[in-house]
Amino acid sequence: MKSAATVLKAKPNQTVHSIAPTATVLDAVKLMAEKNVGALLVMEGAKVFHIHDGQGLKLAREAGLKLGIISGRISPALIARARELQIDSLHQGIDDKLSVYEQIKIADGFADDEIAYVGDDLPDLPVMRRVGLAIAVADAVDEIRECAHFVTNKPGGRGAARETVELILKAQDKWRESLQRFFV
């Protein structure tokens, strides 16, 4: 199977059918509710959380994706939200996101190409250059958008995490199964 990055670059603006990340790393200055993918989700801390993002992260977890957060800030609200959403790994007050990313990757036994990362600002760049699927939120800085394999239509904190989850679950043919409980 082609890597997620290869598939996205080969078919821009088309539906992606073979994204296979098993981990998702998100940055969330305002992205707690905006980012997530395969098996490990790492985000940065938000003060405001979008309900759609929270539901998306629940769907990701139920689909077997590992979720994690790497944040440059320390936020009691993020601790509470991560606990509520059963995020697997939360790291706050982190300046060197790449080092923490490497620790998480090794501890959970993932390869770079099995991880999706959602970012919005320059501290995310080293990690985004490493992962199999780099995702920028709509309101990310130019350098992050240029590095990304995919840019969300929604801005950080306003549905980008949900959009990312849908992208991944649909590409992995898990989306319909994830929705079954809502159509009983």
Is this structure's pTM higher than 0.85?
no
CA distance 41 to 79: 15
CATH topology of domain 19-176: Rossmann fold (3.40.50)
For 22-66, how does the pLDDT look when each residue is reduced to its tens digit (9 = 90+)? 445 444 332 322 333 444 444 444 455 778 888 888 898 888 888
Domain limits, the chain = 19-176
Strands (E), the chain: 23-27, 66-70, 89-91, 115-119, 133-136, 150-151
CA distance 181 to 166: 16
Question: Measured between alpha carbons, how far apart are the two ends of the chain, in Å?
Answer: 34
Query: What is the residue type of 55?
Result: Q
CA distance 135 to 19: 12
For 113-171, how does the pLDDT look when each residue is reduced to its tens digit (9 = 90+)? 888 899 989 999 999 999 888 999 999 999 999 999 999 999 888 888 889 988 888 88
pLDDT tier, 112 (very low <50, low <70, confident <90, very high otherwise): confident
CA 67 to centroid of chain Cα atoms: 8
For residue 150, report the phi and psi dihedrals to the nearest 5 degrees: -145, 140
Asked if pLDDT for residue 19 goes beyond 60, the answer is no
According to the model, what pLDDT value does residue 17 have? 37
More confident residue, 30 or 8: 8
Paired strand residues for 151: 136
For 20, the token pair is 């296979």
Asked if pLDDT for residue 77 goes beyond 60, the answer is yes
Weakest mean pLDDT among 7-11, 93-97, 113-117, 161-165: 7-11
pLDDT tier, 178 (very low <50, low <70, confident <90, very high otherwise): confident
According to the model, what pLDDT value does residue 102 have? 93
